[in-house]
């Protein structure tokens, strides 16, 4: 694929998918889709058969088995849908939705871990009571044996396809099938021992299975999170890319190689010194290197080649000081691990964070979370105490939500302390840890909404609506509302000033709590005035507000984790800034993405100069200007294009 083709993929003006990006019609995609679909269909057929048996002769083991098999069928179809969608390039996601695969793998890992916890809890309880986990072990042994063999067959098939095409989501689904196989095999052994007269053998076997499944689910989730956080491509791959580039006789030296995974695909950046000083000839060298890398390295989507005139000269790709500290580390690190950045600007917030990863002094955003923890803990204690004495479900729900706020603030604080670190495994920083935490906040908010709605509906159905001391409740909730409003304003200002997505998400959640507290106070007041069930109705309104807030926070966090493009106005600002610099004829394309509080930008610049040294100086000047004038830029990568 030529450089002109990739320009379309980089340009935000192109609404269509990037030429050269993996297509939905490629053989590899078809195999992965076919494997996931076959898995889902096989599990669906087995599930229908089990539900038919349940209708004829209901039993606990058949109901549980049918439910689990149905969930596996749904998982298979979701993986198929994710594999298809992940290859799409859109205006919002110009780099593709590849990480949708990793997101699905994360969900699968969490589901496995959750199922392991429930199985272990139930089995451990049965073992302590000295009872068998599964009644009628003879009938259950047949069912579990068939399910175990099916899991093994599907696991082998999916793993073979996943390895052939390097499909992350399908590999995770294959891992899930192998976990099912291992669990079934151990349970079959336990049931056989149970039939032989060994007491509680199936319960003990289930506890062992649960521990193994929990480890497997955690491993799948961990690998998915690594990619979502932009972990580096494997060192062996980076070394191979370096060898491919160095083999070109027109390449004088390979100065640095970096890369990140995205779903099943890889994004690579090379910094090369060429033997020629002509921009057009150097661009031809870069195009040749790109073609060689794509031909020999599997699943490469984008290769950015930054050109320098000679080793030790000015570097065209300037990176914020966040990576400046990494440069020193990279000198001693194995070759090809981390790109050594250039053009550091003193005073950059990213650079300050990276230069002092073990800092003890709290930043403004961290102080905001410390204040949030203290305030939320105090409000939670007050509301729970009042709810216990008054019997108000709405106040109790608000108090419980404030406990969640305390946990959330502690998690956000930990994320802020870790997010700015640059390591060999994460050379682009752990900025997205903030976005991952924001997603976690969204999930917690949605869970709180569910629990609140469930409790409120239960009280309405049971007719329990009496509240003791309503005046005290109203006074306390009014004070809580005022305190939360002040806290939300404070966190929002600090979050915006410092560009912290997790703190801004936390501030939006706090604003939702303000309205929720107002609704609780109003509901208690109306019930005090004689309107029945207003306390529970107010709780339902609060649940709706919480659900809306949770969805918003979840959506914003997922956009960044999936590498959504920078906003159009920011991209235009970058383009205008670069084109205003001396020596820059025009900007052929601009691409950018968020990562936590910071931004990563790639430019394709057409210089006025025809010699590489002069063009390199122009590119370095443009990159420095972008970092200086556009807020929260971590790295600017620049490719030179002959006019």
Give the C-alpha separation, 407 to 400, whole Å: 11
Give the C-alpha separation, 23 to 25, whole Å: 5
* pLDDT band per the 50, 70, 90 thresholds, residue 638: very high
**Cα three-residue angle 242-243-247, rounded to 5 degrees:** 120
Helix (H), strand (E), coil (C) string for 38-93: HHHHHHHHHHHHHHHHHHHCCCHHHHHHHHHHHHHHHHHHHHHHHHHHHCCCCCCC
At residue 66, the pLDDT reads 77
Is 318's pLDDT higher than 60?
no
Give the C-alpha separation, 606 to 276, whole Å: 17
DSSP state of 232: B
Give the C-alpha separation, 335 to 238, whole Å: 9
* DSSP string for residues in 8-28: HHH-TT--SPPTTSPPTTSHH
Element (H, E) at 592: strand 584-595
At residue 25, the pLDDT reads 36
The pair of structure tokens assigned to 289 is: 């290197």
Helix (H), strand (E), coil (C) string for 365-390: HHHHHHHHHHHHHHHHHHHHHHHHHH
**What are the tens digits of pLDDT across the range 410-448?**
766 766 666 667 788 888 888 888 788 888 888 877 887
Give the C-alpha separation, 597 to 502, whole Å: 9
Range with the largest mean pLDDT of 106-120, 186-200, 613-627: 613-627
Query: How high does pLDDT run on average in the chain?
Result: 78
Classify residue 105 as exposed, middle or buried by CB count within 10 Å of its CB (0-12, 13-18, 19+).
buried
- All structural domains of the chain: 13-223 (1.20.1510.10), 235-342 (3.30.70.1350), 364-561 (1.20.1510.10), 568-640 (3.30.70.1350)
Residue 138 · residue 170 · CB < 8 Å: no
Residue 315 · residue 253 · CB < 8 Å: no
Residue with structure tokens 């003791």?
468
Is 110's pLDDT higher than 80?
yes
Terminal-to-terminal C-alpha distance of the chain? 19
Classify residue 15 as exposed, middle or buried by CB count within 10 Å of its CB (0-12, 13-18, 19+).
exposed
Is 377's pLDDT higher than 50?
yes
Residue 476 · residue 521 · CB < 8 Å: no
Give the C-alpha separation, 238 to 72, whole Å: 36
* pLDDT band per the 50, 70, 90 thresholds, residue 134: low
**Cα three-residue angle 180-182-186, rounded to 5 degrees:** 115
At residue 287, the pLDDT reads 93
* 532, 535, 537, 542 alpha-carbon torsion, rounded to 10°: 170
State how beta strands 300-308 and 584-595 pair. unpaired
The pair of structure tokens assigned to 393 is: 């479900």
Residue 392: CB partners within 8 Å, gap ≥ 6? 386, 467, 473, 520, 524, 535
Residue with structure tokens 């998918």?
17
Mean pLDDT of 483-493: 89
Helix, strand or coil, per DSSP, at residue 449:
helix
* pLDDT band per the 50, 70, 90 thresholds, residue 182: confident
**What are the tens digits of pLDDT across the range 519-529?**
788 888 888 88
Chain centroid, CA 371 distance in Å: 27
Quote the crossing angle between the two packed helices 27-56 and 60-86, to the nearest 10°: 160
DSSP state of 531: -
- 237 Rama sector, left if φ>0, alpha if ψ -120 to 50, beta otherwise: alpha
Residue 243 · residue 160 · CB < 8 Å: no
DSSP state of 611: B
Is 271's pLDDT higher than 90?
yes
Sign for the pseudo-dihedral over CA of 126, 132, 135, 139: positive
Give the C-alpha separation, 461 to 257, whole Å: 64
């Amino acid at each position: 694929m030529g450089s002109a083709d990739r320009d379309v993929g980089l340009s935000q003006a192109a609404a269509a998918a990037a030429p050269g990006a993996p297509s939905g019609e490629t053989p590899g995609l078809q195999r992965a889709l076919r494997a996931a679909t076959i898995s889902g269909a096989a599990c669906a057929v087995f599930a229908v058969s089990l539900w038919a048996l349940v209708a004829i002769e209901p039993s606990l083991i058949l109901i549980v088995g049918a439910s689990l098999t149905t969930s596996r069928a749904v998982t298979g179809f979701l993986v198929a849908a994710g594999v298809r969608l992940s290859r799409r390039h859109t205006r919002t996601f110009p780099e593709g939705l590849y990480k949708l695969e990793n997101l699905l793998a994360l969900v699968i890992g969490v589901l496995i871990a959750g199922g392991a916890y429930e199985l272990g809890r139930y089995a451990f309880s049965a073992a302590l009571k000295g009872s068998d986990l599964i009644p009628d072990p003879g009938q259950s042994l047949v069912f579990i044996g068939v399910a175990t063999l099916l899991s093994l067959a599907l696991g082998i098939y999916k793993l073979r396809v996943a390895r052939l095409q390097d499909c992350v989501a399908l590999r995770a689904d294959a891992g899930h099938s192998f976990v099912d196989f291992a669990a079934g095999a151990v349970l079959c052994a336990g049931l056989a021992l149970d039939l032989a007269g060994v007491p509680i053998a199936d319960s003990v076997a289930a506890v062992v299975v649960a521990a193994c499944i929990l480890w497997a689910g955690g491993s799948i989730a961990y690998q998915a999170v690594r990619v979502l956080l932009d972990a580096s491509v494997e060192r062996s791959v980076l070394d191979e890319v370096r060898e491919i580039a160095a083999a070109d006789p027109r390449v004088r030296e390979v100065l640095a190689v970096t890369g990140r995974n995205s779903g099943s695909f890889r994004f690579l950046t090379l910094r090369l010194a060429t033997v020629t000083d002509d921009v057009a000839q150097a661009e031809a060298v870069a195009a040749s290197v790109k073609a060689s890398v794509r031909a020999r390295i599997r699943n490469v989507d984008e290769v950015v080649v930054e050109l320098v005139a000679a080793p030790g000269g000015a570097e065209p790709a300037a990176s914020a000081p966040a990576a400046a500290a990494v440069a020193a580390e990279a000198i001693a690190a194995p070759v090809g691990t981390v790109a050594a950045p250039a053009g550091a600007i003193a005073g950059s917030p990213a650079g300050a964070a990276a230069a002092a990863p073990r800092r003890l002094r709290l930043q403004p955003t961290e102080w905001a979370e410390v204040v949030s923890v203290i305030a939320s803990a105090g409000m939670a204690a007050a509301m729970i105490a009042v709810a216990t004495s008054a019997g108000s479900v709405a106040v109790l729900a608000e108090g419980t939500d404030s406990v969640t706020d305390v946990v959330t603030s502690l998690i956000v604080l930990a994320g802020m302390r870790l997010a700015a670190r640059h390591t060999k495994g994460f050379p682009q920083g752990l900025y997205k840890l903030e976005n991952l935490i924001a997603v976690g906040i969204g999930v917690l908010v949605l869970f709180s909404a569910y629990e609140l709605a469930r409790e409120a509906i239960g009280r309405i159905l049971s007719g329990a609506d009496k509240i003791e001391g309503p005046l005290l409740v109203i006074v306390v909730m009014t004070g809580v509302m005022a305190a939360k409003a002040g806290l939300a304003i404070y966190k929002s200002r600090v979050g915006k000033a410092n560009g912290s997505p997790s703190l801004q998400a936390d501030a939006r959640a706090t604003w939702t709590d303000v309205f929720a507290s107002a609704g609780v106070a109003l509901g208690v007041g109306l019930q005090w005035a004689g309107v029945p069930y207003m306390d529970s109705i107010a709780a339902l309104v609060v649940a709706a507000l919480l659900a809306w807030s949770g969805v918003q926070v979840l959506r914003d966090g997922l956009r960044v984790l999936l590498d959504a493009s920078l906003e159009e106005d920011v991209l235009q600002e970058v383009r205008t800034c670069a084109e205003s610099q001396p020596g820059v004829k025009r900007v052929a394309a601009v691409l950018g993405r968020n990562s936590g509080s910071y931004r990563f930008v790639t430019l394709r610049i057409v210089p006025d100069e025809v010699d590489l040294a002069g063009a390199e100086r122009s590119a370095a000047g443009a990159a420095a200007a972008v970092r200086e004038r556009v807020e929260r830029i971590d790295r600017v990568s620049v490719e030179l294009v002959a006019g």
